[in-house]
Amino acid sequence: MNATALEKFQAAFPDATCKVVLDSVVIDVQPDKLESTLAGLKNDPAFNCGLLLDVTGIDYKDYPKTTETRFYVVYTVRNWQDNLLVQVRTPVVDPEKGIPTATHLFDSALWGEREVWDQYGINFQNHPDLRRILNHYQFEGHPLRKDYDIRKGQVCIGNDSLEKEIRARLANNGVAESTMKDINTEIMFLNLGPSHPATHGAIRILTALDGETIMANINEIGYLHRGFEKTSENLTYNQIIPLTDRLNYCSSMMNNIAYVKAVESWLGIEITERAQFMRVVLSEFYRVLDHLVCIAANMVDMGGLTNYWYLYNEKETAYDFISRLTGARLTSSFTRIGGMYRDFYEGWESDLELQLRDIEKGIGDSIKLVLKNRIVHDRTKDVCVLSAEDALSYGFTGPTLRASGVPFDLRKDAPYYNYESFDFEIPVGSKGDIYDRIMIRFEEMFQSIRIIRQAMKFIPEGSVFIEDSQVVLPPKADVYNNIEGLANHFKLIFEGVKTPAGEWYDSFEAANGELGFHFVSDGSGRPYKLKVRPPCFYIMGGFHKMVEGNMIADAVINLGSINIIGGELDR
Amino acid sequence: MALGLEAKLGDNVMTSTLDYIVNWGRENSLWPFVYGTACCAIEFMSTAASLHDISRYGAEVVRFSPRQADLLLVCGTVSYKQAPILKRIYEQMPEPKWVIAIGACASSGGIYDNYCTVQGIDTIIPVDVYISGCPPRPEAILDGLMKIQNQIKGETVLEDRHKDFKGILD
């Protein structure tokens, strides 16, 4: 980010203070100017930030440096065309009174602000549907506030009926109360989930049906909320890596890499060339695995069980292959801040090539069953279409956004780890229907395999760790044989990697889209606050937009096509 | 014309205990209900897939209606928000029924010792077998299944199991 860009922001928002943090511009505004700032960022062609990535709150109660007010709210927006990342921060004087909502500007604020209210108790004035989202409806208090005890669990008895909400949604879609009672068009309410084979986890999809057509749909999530963010505040930076495995557990190592990349970017660490190439190879390999499971499960939903065996068996053997490297099948925890846990083993390259060939064969077999299959075409083409405008407004990223025709991919638009030097294509859909979403995943697997082969060809020799005793654990020989090594080891384990005080956001193109981490550091070895920007969360927030007007059976395969992973959705 | 065992036995009569016969049937035709919430459910998928093939133990008939199942496999973290659902599913299953807690989260809350995670599903429903691991390997899940089979061998139809169980939701 250069100085002229910053001047541009300062000129456009004279009441705000703008500064550059890493690759993003951070704008501090007062709540009364928040709406106009966000509107300006979105509508001014000079900024054109049409993608609201995330909304989060910050509680500065125990923060060493005193701030103007205890609570802040941060909006993260992006201009995907010009790689412009902007964070708008605003102080919240009275959380009960709150700040104005941004839901009329960005649809993704609907769920983003609900989460902030749920976790921090910050009100958003004029939000149309401000209620809990991750915690249950009988929950009292706001868990991410610093004065909420992490172990204070609250038992929930029963379920929220959501009747008021679904009726409001029906009214919003133009279904009058009289139509609902009409004998010919009587509306039936049907729950898919929370425990249902089609939901691939625990999500509740409540639909209002006229026959088999969905008139209105609302979704409840949070059933797998495991308190990732609160737990992280009590762990050192390296201890959090195993927790990130369990975000999107179908592509665990991508989360590891995204997380350490975010920490390293703040520490200003440039990892070794070999480690960068390793991370490219492994994250692309996991992208393939993630898409394999997604398509396999989606085909089962459609009735094509054979596809499942073709695709899933490749994933199964890939697990054994990965456990040869990491020691674990699913939860790899393979990265460390400053490098990788260890280098590839001897013979990795030939094993990898065999594995890739098997995967290509599996995908090829499956594509043969799908490509000219009338049933697949009839069930997926022009079904659950989402326009590019809606997709951007709801904060979609990744394959689901690209299926709607927006060629946004961080690997191309904000490249890291030498992605700009690899030869690969970004598949883009033309319609935004289920067919596009499935086919984009198929094509992305081939592109990822292309990247892996290129990276394995050019991967340099060398260490997979940087040499920095403040960040990386010393070799075992030093720990046992000299006092300096022992002291460094001890300090890194007990106190963690110390990061300079400050706040930053860093993102990564994960299998489902932009996986971002927003940190607040107080200078210690543990994050003061860590917020994940999960791609799934915002995709699920736009689910109703896709399925309303379609059939109930289409909702099932649509859910499979957007690849909702509970661990990432609810954190 | 009979071809198999019945040809050999002809009109003969066999004696056995009712428990033995019933348990033999029950242990070899467990119908699981997979309550999959998180990562462990992916490992259950592997257990059911070709390589590990759960049907070798007669437990491949995965039901998604609790009314048709007798083995509840809880794969993954259970939060307080989910607890009433899990309890309801357990209650909908007809007797006799068994429960396996798959993985660290279901067994004890695992690494999630915090405000939203139930610290072990045995605070909600009675559990017969616990499987360690985060997530456990498919072999471990099969081992848990075999432990249930062994347990069933020693049970009697005359006794009600877990009659006095009281969990945090009761």
> Whole-angstrom Cα distance, residue B14 to residue B20?
13
Mean pLDDT, rounded, for A73-91: 89
**Contact flag B135-A223 (C-beta cutoff 8 Å):** no
- pLDDT at site A284: 92
- For residue B168, what pLDDT is reported? 83
For residue A517, the model assigns a pLDDT of 92
* Helix/strand/coil for A52: strand
Of A449, A415, A461, residue with least CA distance to A273: A461
Cβ–Cβ contacts within 10 Å for residue A50, how many?
Answer: 19
CA dihedral A144, A145, A149, A150 (to 10 degrees): 20
Round the average pLDDT of chain A to a whole number and report it. 87
What's B137's DSSP letter? Answer: P
**CATH number of B30-153, picked from 3.40.50.2300, 3.30.70.270, 3.40.50.300, 3.40.50.12280:** 3.40.50.12280
pTM for this model (two decimals): 0.90
The pLDDT of residue A471 is 85
Q: How far apart are CA A200 and CA B45, in angstroms?
A: 11
CB of B91 within 8 Å of a chain A CB? The answer is no
Across the interface, which of B38, B112, B116 has its CB nearest the CB of A135? Answer: B116
Question: What was the pLDDT predicted at A280?
Answer: 92
Of A153, A194, A202, the CB nearest to B116: A153
A–B interface: beta-carbon pairs under 8 A: 126
Task: Identify whether the C-beta of residue B32 lies closer than 8 Å to the C-beta of residue B71.
Answer: yes
pLDDT for A322-338, tens place per residue?
A: 988 988 888 888 898 88
Confidence of residue A255 (pLDDT cuts 50, 70, 90): very high
pLDDT at A1: 54
Q: To 5 degrees, how large is the angle CA A475–CA A342–CA A452?
A: 155
Determine the 3-state secondary structure of A119 from DSSP: helix
* Distance separating alpha carbons of residues A456 and A215, to the nearest angstrom: 51
Cβ of residue B151 closer than 8 Å to a chain A Cβ: no
Q: Among all residues of chain A, which has the CA nearest to that of B112? A: A226
Taking alpha carbons only, the member of A432, A416, A126 closest to residue A277 is: A416
B79 touches chain A (CB under 8 A): yes
In tens, the pLDDT along A218-244 reads: 988 888 898 898 999 989 998 999 999
pLDDT of residue A212 exceeding 70: yes
Taking only the tens place, the pLDDT of each residue in A316-326 is: 888 889 988 98
Q: Which two tokens stand for residue A197?
A: 């084979």
Q: Which residues of A touch B168 (CB under 8 A)?
A: 155
Contact A150 B114 (CB under 8 A): yes
The DSSP symbol for A342 reads S
CB atoms < 10 A from the CB of A185, how many?
13
At A528 the three-state DSSP class reads: strand
Answer whether B79 sits within 8 Å of A223, measured CB to CB: yes
Residue A326 CA to residue A462 CA, distance in Å, equals 19
- Whether B36 contacts chain A with CB within 8 A: yes
Contact A291, A283 (CB under 8 A): no
Query: Judged by CB atoms within 8 Å, which residues 232-261 of A form the interface with B?
Result: 242-243, 246, 249-250
The pLDDT value given to residue A32: 86
How far from B159 is each of A437, B21, B118, B125, B155, CA to CA, in Å?
53, 16, 30, 18, 8
Bridge pairing between strands B71-75 and B32-36 = parallel
Helix (H/G/I), strand (E/B), else coil: A185:
coil
The pLDDT value recorded for residue A518 is: 92
Any CB–CB contact under 8 A between B140 and chain A? no
Q: What are phi and psi of A331, to 5 degrees?
A: -105, 100
| Interface probe, candidates B33, B35, B39, chain A, greatest A C-beta count within 10 A | B39
CB B115 to CB A293 under 8 A? no
- Residue spans per domain, chain B: 30-153
Measured between CA atoms, how close is B129 to chain A, in angstroms? 22
Contacts of A298 in chain B (CB under 8 A): none
| Of A78-92, A499-513, B6-20, B130-144, minimum mean pLDDT range | B6-20
Among candidates A151, A159, A319 on the partner chain, residue whose Cβ is nearest the Cβ of B84? A159
Give me the domains of chain A, ranges plus CATH numbers.
3-125 (3.30.460.80), 228-533 (1.10.645.10)
Of the candidates B33, B54, B35, B32, the residue with the CA atom closest to the CA atom of residue B138: B54
- % of chain B beyond a pLDDT of 70: 99
Would you state the pLDDT for residue B1? 58
- Which of these, A156, A104, A166, lies nearest to A134 by C-alpha position? A156
Provide the shortest C-alpha distance from residue A395 to chain B (in Å).
24
Write the residue in B41, B114, B135 that is nearest to A331 by C-beta.
Answer: B135
B101 CA to chain A: closest CA distance, Å? 16
Mean pLDDT value of segment B99-115 = 90
Residue A2, pLDDT score? 58
By Cβ distance, the residue of A159, A197, A330 closest to B135 is: A330
User: Between the CA of residue B132 and those of A57, A316, B106, B139, what are the distances in Å?
Assistant: 36, 20, 9, 12
Tokens 């289409």 identify what position?
Answer: A554
Q: Mean pLDDT throughout A536-559?
A: 89
State whether A312 and B42 contact (CB < 8 Å).
no
Query: Is it the case that residue B100 has pLDDT exceeding 90?
Result: yes
Q: Which residues of B touch A148 (CB under 8 A)?
A: 115
pLDDT of residue A9: 79
Whose tokens are 């300079």? That residue is A500
Question: Does residue B37 belong to the interface with chain A, where contact is any CB pair within 8 Å?
Answer: yes
Q: Please give the DSSP secondary-structure letter assigned to residue B94.
A: P
Query: Do the Cβ atoms of B84 and A250 come within 8 Å?
Result: no
Which of B9, B19, B4 lies closest to B154, judged by CA?
B19
For residue A80, pLDDT over 70 is answered with: yes
Chain B touched by A448 (CB under 8 Å): no
Nearest CA in chain A to B78: A224
- For residue B140, the model assigns a pLDDT of 92
In this prediction, residue A209 has a pLDDT band, given cuts at 50, 70 and 90, of confident
CB-based contact B77 A224, cutoff 8 Å = yes
Asked if B36 and A194 come within 8 Å (Cβ–Cβ), the reply is no
CB atoms within 10 A of CB B76: 31
Across the beta sheet with B71-75, the strand order is: B32-36, B71-75, B98-102, B129-131
**Is pLDDT at A466 greater than 70 in this prediction?**
yes
Using an 8 Å Cβ cutoff, are A431 and A387 in contact?
A: no
| Two structure tokens written together for A113 | 């602000």
Residue range A350-379: mean pLDDT, rounded: 90
With an 8 Å Cβ cutoff, are A227 and B35 in contact? no
In Å, how far are A152, A159, B113 from A147, measured between CA atoms? Answer: 11, 27, 17
The A204-210 sheet, strands edge to edge: A188-192, A204-210, A213-220
Contacts of residue A347, Cβ cutoff 8 Å, sequence gap at least 6: none
